[in-house]
Each structure stands twice: as structure tokens, then as C-alpha cells.
Structure 1
Amino acid sequence: MKKLIALILILVITSFIVVSKDDMSLNEKIAIEKKNIPNSENKKWEYVKDRLFDGETEKVFKREGPILFSLNNASKKDSLIVNEIIQELRTVIPNKTIDYFTIFTGVSFEGALYNGYDKKYKGISLWDLVKSTTLLNFNKSSNSNILPKSQEIVNYRFPNEIGSITREIFGPLSEHDYTGIAISFDINKEISNKERKICIQYEILRTLCYINPANRFPYGNSNGVFEAPESVPEQTKFNEQDKFLLQKLYSDDFIDQFKTYMYANYPWRYASSFINKKNHEFKVWGILIGVGLLASILIFSYFQNKKYKYSYLNYSFPTFFIFIYFLNLDNIYMYLTRFNIIVSGVNGLLFQLVFSILIAILISFVLWGLEKVSFKGNESFSYQLILKVIFTFVSFLAMVVFVLVLESDRRKELFEFFFPYIFFSAGLAIGRGLLLYLNHFSESLVKEKDVELSRLKEAKAEAEVKALQSQINPHFLYNALNSIASLAHTDADKTEKMALSLSDLFRHTINRKGEKVNSVQDEVNLVSNYLEIEQIRFGDRLRFSIDVEPDLLTIEIPMFILQPLVENAIKHGISKIEGQGNIVLKINKKEDGVLISVQDNGPDFPEGLVSGHGLQTVYDLLRFSYGEKAEISWHNQPKKEISIYIATVLK
């Protein structure tokens, strides 16, 4: 019951977490909230988020080395403008080296290129310096013959006859790893210095980061340099949002700061996915696998040994829980990864519950029917295992096939929709097969250990029985020799007769050496020989009678189980009285067992447990041979009697 409660609790808790409380998706809620962002640092962070990140990874482009510039054919006016821009950048990004290539390396840009790419300047290879350098050409094209082949060329003209710009990117190109950049300006000399600076500054600033072309910052219209993905320098100004973006981008802990902002202002699932979608998917699958494994273990352990009166229920209940948990895991996945979709509310969950019941009835009926028809009870385990795996896969696919047949015009679309479910069905079938195999393997090990343990117990019991039997002979011999010794001085004939009888008795026992059981007939003969020996010692004082039902003479009982009872009657009964002593041995049927009793007219049994080496031997023989299916008892009324009842001898 505890496992069932745990199953239901997991289902209820996860459903409560993922269901939508209203009719809006997470993306819609975020869009509404961001429209009302105040003009604060959060708005600047949103600017950074939308302009630099693609929502897939945490990688962004920035100059890793020093930020260098090389001027080519620049007028004095252009040089002063570039100087002003560099000075302003140094105040915005104080932790970066921002300078001219010639000043940083001590050689001109073209001279360094002629020296070869393997040469280093200040410990930095020329190729890395090229990647950090922006070549600014004024009123003429770049000297492309000394640079690697251009991978991208962008040309555009300004409106109002301001001029045109050509941007060339050299070497391997990716969104996050530019190489050399050359910008050629052809600007009308008649425009003002302010307009000229805007155009040059715009191009220089845009080389410092990669602007996501798919996004346009939707939360304001500040005409920032990085606000629009397309090139519109004449409409922009280097504002506070742009400066904030560059400051954060070139800070040493930029990614950590950005993560802190995201997790503080967005739901965990959205922030994690936006920062690194692939890692987020791994996390989600880890959650799904964890919840799925926990649910699977609980379902299997609860239903493993549970048997219902109607065999169909053994299939329908587990199938219902499996399917409803599949839908629940699908809800969790959608909740954690699809932010433009509304996860079912309470009504949707009720629909899923009813849907799960109907599907469970269909799937379990197919599976139950297939196994009912296919298995007759005499098949090998391997054969059953293979068929059960196949039947499980087929049964869970029955719903898909049914839907595809009904919706033949949408078959391709539906097949893509059900494709993950097909994998789920295959995994479920393989999982069931694995669990069946492990269960069979563990049961086989337990049975094997039980057989081995039974053999060990049997061997131990046999050894202990033999040890007990070996103790009986010396014990009896000790008493017999004492009797012979007592007669030797008084009656030689009796002594001789007793010695010969003892010899016959031991000849009989030696011939039975190594055996654990004996027939009632042989045991009675042994007792008769023993009593004859004792009768020689006691003379007319001892009388005995033996009464055995004829049908019992051939059944087997443990060896030496009768003699200790008779010996106890003589030792503690007949020897204690001076008059006539009588001993009666009876062996009769009682229900399905045998009742053995020995009566004597000696003193009563003492209160409590009757002790003695001989009786202890009988106790142990019965315990090792029959366990709890044999018992020994005694009483003084109406006659003094000790008896043994063995319940299983006649079965």
C-alpha cells in the first residue's frame, strides 16, 4: 500500500507543478512582463540578452586579444576622429588594450604581414593579432593581396549621398570567431565631421561584437548602435545601453553575471534553456529518467507478486499506471522545454486520466489475449521471454496502428507525432523482458541455493544421526558388561549365556553399520535380544511382552530408537522395585502415523522433563529424522507409559 501511495503522490505532485494555471504560455507571460520593464539596469541587461545571445548557447563573440586598428590612406580629419573613438572606448572598456597596430607591435600592418604569420609580437602570434585588428581604409579599397581570401564582403550605401562602405572578413568565419576585418570608407568629403564620426564610429563599434540578426530589441527605440541587426549608422548614437553592453561583454566574469541576471529574473527552466539549450535538454532528460525509473521501480515492485482473481486485471492495472506516467513524463518534458505551449490544466489532466483508462483497457486486453492464447504452461522460459517482449511491443503499438488506419490522410504527420512513443514502446518491451529475465535469474539462484542448503542440511543430519547411533552401541555395551561382571561371581552359566547373547546382538548391529533406518521387525528383534540379556540378569523378576501390528513390521524407522526406551524402563523402573517387574512394548497405527509406547510398573516419572543419555538420543534421532512431525511424551496415569508418535511414516 505504501508503494501505491508513493506512486499516486509522485503523479499528483508532478502534475500540480507542470499544469498551467491560466491560458497563457510562458513566452506570452515573459513578453507581457518585458513590455513594462522600467528604464533601469534590467532593461540594459535585456538589451544585452537580445543583441548578443541566440537563445541556444552561452557563446558570444568578442575580441579575445588586444583591440587594434590600422589606418590606411586616412586624412588628418579621419585620424582625429579615430583617435577620439579610441579614447572613448578606453573609458568604456578600461580593462582592454585598445591601440593602433603600429604602436602595439612597433611595425606597420603591411610590414608585419610580409614577415609571415609565424612571427610573434609581445608573445602573440601575428595571426592572433590579425584577428584582433580592424583595418580602416579611407577613400580606397583594402590591399587584399596581402591578406587571406575574403570569406564575406558587405557593401552598402548611406542615404542622402553620404557615401558607401565595404566590409570584408578574412579567413575562417563563424558567428563567434571572426578573423581579420577590413572596412573601406568612401564618404563624401562635404558632410560634417559629426556625420562623418557617426559613420566611422558605427563601423568600429560593430566590429567589437556579433549582433544576432534574428532579433530586434523590442523594448524601446533609443537608436542604439547595436539595436538594429541591419546597418543604419546615420540613425544611431552611441548611448548608455551600448556602453553597458560593451562594459559587460568585455568584463572578465561576463557569462557569470549574465547567468545571475537570467536566473534571478526568469523561471529556472527558461533561463537554463536560453543559456545553453543542449545542456538544458540533458538536465531535462535526467529529470525524466529519474522520475521514470522511480515510477517504474514502484510499479514493478508493487505489481510483481500481486495476483488478482481475474488474470486480466494483472495486465490492466500495471498498463494503466505505465501509460498515465508516460503522459505525465510528456507533460514534464513539454513544461521544461516548450515555452510557447500551454501544458494541460485540471480539465486536461482529467481528460488524460480517462484517456489512459481507455488506452490501458485496449493495450492490456491485446497483451492478455496474446499471452493467453500463446502460452499453455509447458513452454521454455526463453521461448516465453521472447514472445512476451514481442507481445508487449505489439500491444503498445496497437493504439498507434489504430489511429494511423483511421487517419490515413494525415498518416505522415501522425507518424512523426507518434515516433517518440514507438521508442517508448520498444524501451518498455525491452525493459519488461529484462525484468522478467532478472526475476527468473534471481528465482533460479534462490532455488539453487535452497537445493544446496537442503543437501547440506541432509548431509549434516545424516552425520549427526550416525554419530548418535555410534553413541548407542558403547552405551549399551557399557551396561551389558556391567551386568556380566555382576553375574560372573554368582552364576557362571548365566554369565556364559549372557555373553553369547550379547555377541549375537552386536553381530546384528555390526551387519547394519552405516544404515540410518531399520525395519520395525529388525528393531523389535534387537529389543528382544536386549530384554533376553536383561532377563538373564534379573531372572524371574523381569517379564516383558511385545505387541506389534503385523502391517507395521515392514515400515522403516530410525535405528536404535526402541532400545533406549526399553533400557530407560529397566534402569529407572524395574531396577528400583523388589517385586515382579513388567515391561510392555506396543507399536500401533494411529491416524496416518505410528504410535510406539513402552509401559512399566516401576516408580512414577518425576515431575518435569525426563532426562538421561538414552532418551536424549531418542529426542535427537526424532528431530533429525522427522523435524516437527514427530513427538515424544510420557505420563503416569492410568498407567506409567512413555510414547513416540511419528505422523508421516504411513503417508
Structure 2
Amino acid sequence: MHKLNDKWMRIIGVPLLALIGQWMMYGYTNVPYPNDWRIPLLFIVGTVLVWEANRQGILLSRQRFPEFGQTRQRVLYQLVWFAIFASIIRITQTFFYHIIGLWPAENYFLFRPYFFNTLVSVVGTVQLAAYYEGVYLYQRWKLSYTEAQELKKINLQSQLDSLKSQINPHFLFNNLNSLSSLIGSDAEQAERFLDELSSVYRYLLQQNNRDLCPLSDEITFINAYFHLLKTRYGDAIFLENSVESRYLRYQIPPLTLQLLFENAIKHNVISVNRPLTIRLYTEEGHLHVANNLQKKKLAVPSSQIGLQNIMMKYKLLDHSSVLVHHDEHTFLVRVPLIPPMAEQALV
């Protein structure tokens, strides 16, 4: 994406523009065009040097500010670069003209030729750069559009997979079995279990058209979801919630926590002798979801669709800093918390 497709411009376009710029300069300064082959040759060389220097500025600006939303910073970077390097090259070239006698003027520091020679180079570069920036913006827009369409597919698939995981016969059997046991032994707990189960389904059905939701909603949902897990696994699973209240208004993609909890349950041993502990905590504007790592002896096939889903959502939200880390004892996923719109406007 950072490549500048200007092969023919460098071979033909830049020398041709150099000759046109030279003709304009002599017309503006009212200096007779000398019959000396060195004049067009040196002007072409100077123009090539200007473009080669400035194209590096274009490439560097794309490396530093590659995103569609960073267009302003990228363009300002290019303009400053063009002004500095075009001025250095053209002022040096014009002074060299005086030294070797190609510019007939007694005063080496005559303002007009220096100014116009530099101006033509800067303006010419800006026009060329505007064309390439337009092409670059179109490419970035096309990529963003393609990614947005992919995100829609991913969201639909994620919603479908989440719903399937909750209504599949195995899940329903486990929860109905738990509910049946509670009805016979503890009617009050059975009623609470039924309330949490309905909360889980209600939340899943409400996420169809949401790209982001408050962290508080996710925490409320995951508490209901974890209640179902706790009823099933008992003292074999624990949840530690250390989320700071000041972050509850911040936003994350919906069902992020469910995907991470499912990932932990799918790949780890869960037993009373080896309990699984999932920790939620916030730190420096990020939400951390960590669990003690105790892999099953028979590894469960993993496509990592859940983690890829989360990473893709954040990438399309211009937050690509999802971190996945694990060692012998811990598996950790860190996701950015997106400030509420009112706070974003103040940044």
C-alpha cells in the first residue's frame, strides 16, 4: 500500500515537466533563453532530484500516517517536506547557474530567479503529489469498504455462531438439566437461574445492529452468563471482577467477553481439583481478560475464529492494539476500551 506507482512519471513525465517549467521560468523573468544545451540538461537533472527527494517524503508520510483518517497529518507532512527539499535543491541549482555563467546576472542573490525556480518546483510537486494522494485515498477507501463488508459478514456470522452456541441441544440440555435439579432442591435458586438464562438470550437477540456497547452492558451480560456456568461447574470455576467503575461507560464490541469466556472454557481443564479462574480487570484504558492456563490433554481443534473476530472488529474501528499473550501459567487477552463519544470529542 505504501508503494508509489510512478515508474513512467519518473522516466518520461518528470523530464517533460522540467522542460515546461524551464520555459515558464524564462518567460516570467524576461531573460532571453540562452542557446546552451547545458541549460535544459541541468534543469532536467534538478527536477529529477526534486522529485526523487520529494517522493521519499510521500513514502515516509504513508509509513507514518497510513490510515484514511490520518489524511490531514499525511498531507501536512508532505507539504512541509516539499517546501524544504525543493527549496534546498532549487536554490543550490540556481546559485550554481550563476557560478558557471548560465544565468546572466551580476547579482548572485537576485530574488526573482531564486524565488520562481523554487516556486515552480514546489507547485509542480504539489500537483503531482495531489494526483498520487488521490489514488492513495481511493485505494484506502476501497480497502476500508471491503473490510467494512467483511465486518458485516463477520458480525452476522458471530451473531449466528453465538446464538447457535446458546440454543444447540447440548447447551439447552445442560441448562435445563441444571434447572430441573434446582427446581427439586432449591426453588429460589431455580427462579434466579431461569431469570439469568432469559437475560442471556435477551442480550444475544439485542446485539444484531450494534457495533459498540457500554462495558457496563457487557459486564451485566457476562455476570448472567457466568451464573449459568457456575451453576453447572460449581467450585470448578471462578470469576474475579476488578473492573474500575470509571471505565463502565467506555465501549467495546458486543459479545467480546462471551467469545473470550468460551475460548477459556473450551481449551482448559475445569474440575474441583483444578479450578479455572477467569479474571477481569482494567488498566490504562484497556480491559484484560485472563485465565490460568491448564490445557486439556486431548487438545481441542481451534480455528481461532473468536479471537480473529475480535481483532478484525477493533481494526475496523481504528483500534488495532488487541494483545494476546500466554505463558506456561496464564492466557491473557487485552482489548482497548473506547471512550464515550463526549469524551472523544474533547481529545
The TM-score normalised by the length of structure 1 is 0.35
Answering whether residue 172 of structure 2 is matched by residue 467 of structure 1, we say: no
Quick one: structure 1 residues 597 and 523, their matched pair in 2 at CA, closer, same or farther if it must change by over 3 Å? same
1:382-434 per-position Cα deviation (integer Å, ceiling 9, x unaligned): xxxxxxxxx56xx9xxxxxxxxxxxxxxxxxxxxxxxxxxxxxxxxx9x8699
Q: Is the 8 A contact 1:480 1:502 kept in 2?
A: no
Residue of structure 1 equivalent to 2:215: 520
Q: Aligned partner of 1:644: which letter?
A: V
Partner of 1:631: 323
How far does the alpha carbon of each residue in 1:218-268 deviate from its partner, in whole angstroms, 9 at most, with x for none? xxxxxxxxxxxxxxxxxxxxxxxxxxxxxxxxxxxxxxxxxxxxxxxxxxx
Mapped pair 1:366 → 2:58: no
Asked whether the 8 Å contact 2:241–2:280 carries over to 1, the reply is yes
Question: Aligned equivalents of 1:527 and 1:448: distance in 2?
Answer: 40
Stretches of structure 1 that go unaligned for 5 or more consecutive residues are: 1-287, 324-351, 370-390, 396-428
Q: Report if the CA contact (8 A) 2:321-2:336 is conserved.
A: yes
Q: How has the CA–CA distance of structure 1 residues 583 and 517 changed in structure 2, closer, same or farther, with 3 Å as cutoff?
A: same
Describe how 1:33-48 pairs up with structure 2 within 5 A: none
Gap change, CA 1:365 and 1:480, over 3 Å in 2: farther
Output the amino acid matched with 1:475.
S
CA distance in 1, matches of 2:239, 2:217: 18
Note if contact 1:588-1:596 (Cα within 8 Å) is conserved in structure 2.
yes
- DSSP-derived class of the 1:598 partner: strand
- Are the aligned partners of 2:162 and 2:204 in contact in 1 as well (CA < 8 Å)? no
2:49 to 302, 315, 338: 302
| Cα separation, partners in 2 of 1:435 and 1:647, compared to 1, 3 Å | same
**Per-residue deviation, 1:547:** 1.6
Aligned AA for 2:240? Answer: S
Specify the alignment match of 1:584 in structure 2: 278
Task: Give, in whole Å, the separation in 2 of the partners of 1:566 and 1:317.
Answer: 65
Letter in 2 for 1:466: N
Q: Which residue of 1 aligns with 2:174?
A: 483
**Structure 2: distance between partners of 1:364 and 1:647:** 58
Tell me if structure 1 keeps the 8 A contact 2:94–2:114.
Answer: no
List gaps (5 residues or longer) in structure 2: 1-35, 55-80, 340-346
Correspondence for 2:333: 644
- The residue that corresponds to 2:138 in the other structure is 449
The whole-number CA distance in structure 1 between the counterparts of 2:238 and 2:92 is 75
Offset of residue 586 of structure 1: 2.0
Is the 1:604–1:636 Cα contact (8 Å) retained in structure 2?
no
Taking the TM superposition and a 5 Å limit, the aligned residue runs for 1:172-571 are: 297-304=44-51, 305-306=53-54, 312-319=87-94, 354-356=100-102, 362=108, 365-366=111-112, 391=116, 435=124, 438-439=127-128, 441-450=130-139, 452-453=141-142, 455-470=144-159, 471-478=161-168, 480-487=171-178, 492=183, 498-571=193-266
Q: Distance in 1 between matches of 2:172 and 2:198?
A: 11
Given the superposition, is the C-alpha separation of residues 446 and 357 from structure 1 closer, same or farther in structure 2, using an over 3 Å criterion? same
User: Matched residues in 2 for 1:645 and 1:589: separation?
Assistant: 9
Q: What SS does structure 1 have at the residue aligned with 2:249?
A: coil
**Aligned counterparts, 1:159-178, within 5 A:** none
Q: 1:458 to 1:648 in 2, by over 3 A?
A: farther
How many angstroms apart in 2 are the aligned matches of 1:568 and 1:542?
A: 14
Write out per-residue CA displacement over residues 188-238 of structure 1, whole angstroms, 9 at most, x where no aligned residue.
xxxxxxxxxxxxxxxxxxxxxxxxxxxxxxxxxxxxxxxxxxxxxxxxxxx
Shift of 1:620: 2.8
Evaluate the alpha carbon distance shift between residue 481 and residue 367 of structure 1 in structure 2; reply closer, same or farther with a 3 A threshold.
Answer: farther
Deviates more, 1:357-366 or 1:554-563: 357-366
Q: 1:567 to 1:318 in 2, by over 3 A?
A: same
Q: In 2, are the aligned partners of 1:516 and 1:559 still within 8 Å (CA)?
A: yes
Amino acid at match of 2:310: L
Change (3 A) 1:558 1:460: same
Cα distance in 2, alignment partners of residues 508 and 597 from structure 1:
20
Q: 1:446 to 1:572 in 2, by over 3 A?
A: closer
| d(CA) in 2 for partners of 1:634, 1:526 | 26
Q: What is the distance in 2 between the residues matched to 1:635 and 1:367? A: 66
Q: 1:530, CA displacement in angstroms?
A: 0.6
Distance in 1 of aligned mates of 2:103 and 2:46: 16
SS in 1 for 2:294: coil
Give the Å deviation of 1:520.
Answer: 1.6
1:596 to 2:288 alignment: yes
2:343 corresponds to: none
Residue 612 (str. 1) matches residue 306 (str. 2): no
> Whole-Å Cα distance in 2 between the matches of residues 448 and 302 of structure 1?
26
How far the C-alpha of 1:303 sits from its partner, in A, is 0.9
Q: Which amino acid in the other structure matches residue 112 of structure 2? A: V
TM value normalised by structure 2? 0.60
Counterpart in 2 of 1:135? none
SS at match of 2:210: coil
Q: Percent identity?
A: 14
Q: What secondary structure does 1:562 align onto?
A: helix
Query: Relative to structure 1, is the Cα distance of residues 647 and 490 closer, same or farther in structure 2, using a 3 angstrom cutoff?
Result: closer
* 2-structure distance, mates of 1:434, 1:548: 54
Where 1:629 maps in the other structure, the secondary structure is coil
Structure 1 residue 483 displacement after superposition = 1.6
Root-mean-square deviation (CA, aligned residues, Å) is 4.4
* Matched residue type, 1:316: I
User: Secondary structure, in 3 states, of the residue corresponding to 1:633?
Assistant: strand
Q: Residues 452, 567 of structure 1: CA spacing in aligned structure 2 closer, same or farther, 3 A cutoff? A: closer
Query: Secondary structure of 1:514's partner?
Result: coil
* Alpha-carbon separation, structure 2, partners of 1:643 and 1:548: 15
Could you say what secondary structure the match of 1:546 adopts? strand
Relative distance call for 1:552 and 1:489 in structure 2 (3 A) is closer
- Contact 1:542-1:581 within 8 A present in 2 as well: yes
- Cα deviation code 1:309-360 (max 9, x no counterpart): 6875243134357x5xxxxxxxxxxxxxxxxxxxxxxxxxxxx853247859
Q: How many residues end up aligned between the 2 structures?
A: 269
Q: Which has the greater radius of gyration?
A: 1
